[in-house]
């Protein structure tokens, strides 16, 4: 359980049992005001725990605001989101301290290509099986060279454990053999065989059956002996435990955490090194969001509404996944198996046209677009303060049907130039023909 849990609006909307995850639950007054649904308001009224509504102080709010501007998430954060982050920072500062918190976001970035999953690269990574590697990796050898004393101690411990396990196995085998001998001798004394004439004939058949059964058992043993190395046995259980415990993180008691599903809030919290809780009460160690990366100048931006690169100005932005690990390091995942293509970039562009009703392609971010402002005649016809003005759909409403704007039906600037292009490539020959209307 968390000692202090700061809840966002999504925790109340999804009716999360916060009393099962935390001792004290906090929130901001604006979060309570965001809940508008009647059923959710009824749940807030009859909560089975004490919900402490608290406002963050100005110092923590200013710190969070400046930090969000540095990470690039300030534009996607509302005032309520900033207050939630500030309250988390304030409680962390009061209960734990600020030694482990960052004052500046992590700038270092590691670009990683999207490789195949480990199950496809190494077929030995199967659940319940263990196959020891014959050759050690270069990194392991370097680590052994760096720490020879530790490696020697570890090898000595492994040898001692293996010897003890072998001795215990041999003792168990001897004990089982002695018990089997004793049981066989006791059974032989009790039931003495009675020899008849028919037994001589059946002895040959029984011997043949015994030999056949032995051959079958031998074949089964030879088939199963190939897979013996893959099974987890007492001899290799120590190595298996080491391989499983290397990547498992130790559970540390969490005092303050924030429960939210907003990616911008999670990014800022992770960059500050604050704890993030999921809706099921578990701590989020690694998280992944999406940003835009320019493949011309390799700059990144977190504003997902951008079409052109803010650095070079080209229309070369591509969405990539970004993950933050436990240390807050930003890792960009690029799918190298999907190459860049020149599709939709080798088309002919029409000549730019002027006037109010032009539909030119948008090539730069600051390109001026003509505004569809009403004319003077249209303004006089739509005088709402006039006594004879009729609003809504009426047969007596004066409508403009003869002007150029009414005939052209001014459309949006979304790739209309490509549809109404006067040039198209002929399929039979590689020349551009003028279309005759």
Q: Are 1 and 253 in contact (CB under 8 A)?
A: no
Pairing relationship of beta strands 330-334 and 317-324 according to DSSP bridges = antiparallel
φ, ψ (nearest 5 deg) of residue 166: -65, -45
β-pairing, 51-53 vs 287-294, is unpaired
Q: Is 312 annotated as a binding residue?
A: yes
- Separation CA 181–CA 328 (nearest Å): 65
Q: What is the dihedral of CA 411, 413, 418, 423, to 10 degrees?
A: 80
3-state secondary structure of 353: coil
Strand 2-7 and strand 256-259: pairing? parallel
- Closest alpha carbon to 359 in 348, 373, 349, 347: 349
Q: What size, in residues, is the chain?
A: 437
DSSP state at residue 104: S
Instruction: Kindly state the DSSP code that residue 183 receives in the 8-state scheme.
Output: H
> Residues 282, 283, 289, CA angle at the centre, nearest 5°?
115
Give the HSE-up count for residue 160: Cα atoms under 13 Å, Cβ half-sphere.
6
- Spatial distance between the Cα atoms of 298 and 292, rounded to a whole number of angstroms: 10
309 labelled binding-site residue: yes
Tell me if residue 83 falls in helix, strand or coil: helix
CA 402 to chain centroid, in Å, comes to 57
CB atoms within 10 A of CB 267: 26
State CA 3 to chain mean position distance.
27
In whole angstroms, give the CA distance from residue 354 to residue 392: 34
Angstrom distance (rounded) from CA 342 to CA 337 = 16
DSSP state of 299: -
Which residue ranges make up the annotated binding site? Answer: 294, 297, 309, 312
Which residue ranges make up the annotated binding site for Zn(2+)? Answer: 294, 297, 309, 312
């Amino acid at each position: 359980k968390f000692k202090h849990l700061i809840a966002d609006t999504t925790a109340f909307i999804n009716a999360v049992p916060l009393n099962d995850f935390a001792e004290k639950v906090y929130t901001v007054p604006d979060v309570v005001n965001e809940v508008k649904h009647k059923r959710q308001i009824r749940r807030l009224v009859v909560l089975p725990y004490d919900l402490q509504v608290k406002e963050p102080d100005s110092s923590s709010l200013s710190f969070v605001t400046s930090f969000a501007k540095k990470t690039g998430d300030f534009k996607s954060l509302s005032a309520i989101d900033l207050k939630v982050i500030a309250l988390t920072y304030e409680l962390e500062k009061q209960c734990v301290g600020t030694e482990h918190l960052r004052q500046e976001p992590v700038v270092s970035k590691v670009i990683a290509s999207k490789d195949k999953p480990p199950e496809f690269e190494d077929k030995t990574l199967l659940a319940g099986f263990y196959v020891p590697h014959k050759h050690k990796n270069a990194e392991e050898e370097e680590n052994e060279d760096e720490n020879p004393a530790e490696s020697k101690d570890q090898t000595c411990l492994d040898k001692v454990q293996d010897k003890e396990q072998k001795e215990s196995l041999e003792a168990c085998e001897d004990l089982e053999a002695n018990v089997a001998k004793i049981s066989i001798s006791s059974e032989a004394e009790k039931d003495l065989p009675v020899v008849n004439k028919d037994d001589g004939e059946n002895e040959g058949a029984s011997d043949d059956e015994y030999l056949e059964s032995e051959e079958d058992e031998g074949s089964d043993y030879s088939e199963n002996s190939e897979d013996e190395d893959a099974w987890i046995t007492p001899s290799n259980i120590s190595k298996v435990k080491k391989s499983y415990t290397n990547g498992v993180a130790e559970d540390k008691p969490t005092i303050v955490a924030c429960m939210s599903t907003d990616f911008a809030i999670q990014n800022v919290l992770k960059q500050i090194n604050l704890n993030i809780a999921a809706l099921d009460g578990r701590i989020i160690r690694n998280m992944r969001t999406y940003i835009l990366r320019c493949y011309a100048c390799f700059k990144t931006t977190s504003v997902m509404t951008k079409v052109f690169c803010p650095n070079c100005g080209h229309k070369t932005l591509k969405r990539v996944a970004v993950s933050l690990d436990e240390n807050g390091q930003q890792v960009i995942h690029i799918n190298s198996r999907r190459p860049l293509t020149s599709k939709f970039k080798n088309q002919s562009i029409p000549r730019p046209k002027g006037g109010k009703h032009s539909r030119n392609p948008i090539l730069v971010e600051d390109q001026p677009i003509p505004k569809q402002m009403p004319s003077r005649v249209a303004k006089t016809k739509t005088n709402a303060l006039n006594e004879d003005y009729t609003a809504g759909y009426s047969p007596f409403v004066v409508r403009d049907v003869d002007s150029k704007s009414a005939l052209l039906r001014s459309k949006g600037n979304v790739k209309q130039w490509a549809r109404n292009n006067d040039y198209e490539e002929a399929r039979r020959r590689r020349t551009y023909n003028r279309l005759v209307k």
